[in-house]
Amino acid sequence: MFRKTRLFTPGPTPLLPAAQFAMAAADLHHRTAEFRALYTKVLAQLKEFVGTRNDVLLLSSSGTGAMEAAVSNLTSPGDPVLVLTAGKFGERWTAITKAFGCNVEVLNAPYGETFDLATIKAALKPEHKAVYVQATETSTATRHDIRGIAEALKAANSQALLVVDAITGLGTTHFDVDAWGIDVLIGGSQKAVMIPPGLAYLSVSDRAWAAMETSKNPRYYFDLRKERKSAKLGESAYTPSVSLIAGLGAALDYIAGQANGDLAEGRISLIENAETCAAMTRAGLVALGFTLFAPTAPAAAATAVSVPEGLDSGAVVKELKSRFGAVIANGQGEMKGKIFRIAHLGFFDYMDTIALLGALELIARDTLKLPVQFGQGVAAAQQVFATRKPKQAYEETFAVTV
């Protein structure tokens, strides 16, 4: 049979066709009126997509560039900061803050778990300048309670800036940036917004802007003050990735189009789509006899699955690709060979989820030798889809009746 390649990885994710067309047609010079109009529009759309009144900036870099900017712009050598880490990307916050000379205190949670809010509150100190955390720890497919963390800071009367890596969180998790007091929220292009890697975006609060005026760490390309000044003129400080910005504009138009042109409602629909695909996948995998790796705090961006003792998760990754053209992700670092990860963020839908579960039924039977009856994983996923309420995750996050 033909094998059509399908990405089920948590970044890069499947590309939106409309964005691909826009990128192919983006024959623009970046210091022209045409590009300024596009750039101004995309920056305004990003504010709606993030859901904030704060400035939102766009960088031609991977998400790690925005993470670095959130350290170099906000801290000085010797500043005490608190890093919350429970996986490879939390460890990246630790590495970046140490690289810029911060006095780093680390609060760890085991891989596959999240943080106890009381422990966070107890770890906070008046001298902490910033708290760095993931919204979703992509390496373990674990979601952290950003609202709870923000409330813990307030309860402790902490003046620390709250900096959140939401590179896989945006578009898969509901945030209220301004009400919760998130000072910096970071996103990336190769995730829920369905375009290739190469762009990072971040919202920046007034408190964060004020901190930049006293920060002593060096910065040049990632000087957010330069980007803010240029953005007001419809430009970037340095040469931007023109085609990716055109693709991002098309992707944000598409998201708005899912809600009759309302981008804020489109964002909610995008998140609910990821939540539904994730819930379907978890139910299907459990029905097949798999063990979820992060059962108490599962992400909507991706699902992590443990393989039986003595087996290598790489075998599942390899078999899915060779037999069905489906590309999923192995574990990272010490979790390589122990878990595999399936993405749900961005351009995925019901049909993608059902198809992958159908393929996994064969892998479970033939490769892992699990006692599988064809259809049992698919049926469990269909049951979730049939009974899930619209805006269920939104309702659960904000405790309102929709």
- At 402 the pLDDT is 34
- Same-domain pairing of 239 and 267: no
Residue 390 domain-assigned? Answer: yes
Categorize the per-residue pLDDT at 110 as very low, low, confident or very high, splitting at 50, 70 and 90.
Answer: very high
Residue 241 domain-assigned? Answer: yes
- Same-domain pairing of 269 and 330: yes
- Same-domain pairing of 159 and 268: no
pLDDT mean across residues, the chain: 96
- Residues 35-83: pLDDT tens digits? 999 999 999 999 999 999 999 999 999 999 999 999 999 999 999 999 9
- Same-domain pairing of 290 and 381: yes
**Residue 217 backbone dihedrals phi, psi, to 5 degrees:** -70, 145
- At 365 the pLDDT is 93
| Boundary-marking domain end, from 207, 232, 257 | 257
Q: What total of structural domains would you count in the chain?
A: 2
- In terms of Cβ atoms closer than 10 Å to its own Cβ (0-12, 13-18, 19+), residue 153 is buried
- At 159 the pLDDT is 96
Residue 308 domain-assigned? Answer: yes
- Same-domain pairing of 166 and 201: yes
pTM surpassing 0.85? yes
- At 2 the pLDDT is 87
- Same-domain pairing of 299 and 389: yes
Categorize the per-residue pLDDT at 311 as very low, low, confident or very high, splitting at 50, 70 and 90.
Answer: confident
- At 218 the pLDDT is 96
Residue 134 has pLDDT above 80, yes or no: yes
| Boundary-marking domain end, from 233, 257, 281 | 257
- At 63 the pLDDT is 97
Task: Report yes or no: 138 and 188 within 8 Å, Cβ to Cβ.
Answer: no
| Boundary-marking domain end, from 257, 291, 312 | 257
- Same-domain pairing of 272 and 163: no
CATH of the domain at 314: 3.90.1150.10
Residue 400 has pLDDT above 60, yes or no: no
CATH of the domain at 165: 3.40.640.10
Residue 308 has pLDDT above 90, yes or no: no
Q: Which of 40-49, 223-232, 332-341, 377-386 has the lowest mean pLDDT?
A: 332-341
- 49 is written with which tokens? 């997509």
Residue 1 domain-assigned? Answer: no
Residue 234 has pLDDT above 50, yes or no: yes
- Same-domain pairing of 88 and 115: yes
Mean pLDDT of 120-132: 97
Range of the domain at 168: 17-257
Question: What burial letters (b/e) apply to 285-297, b meaning 16+ CB within 10 Å?
Answer: bebbebebbbeeb
Residue 342 domain-assigned? Answer: yes
- Same-domain pairing of 213 and 273: no
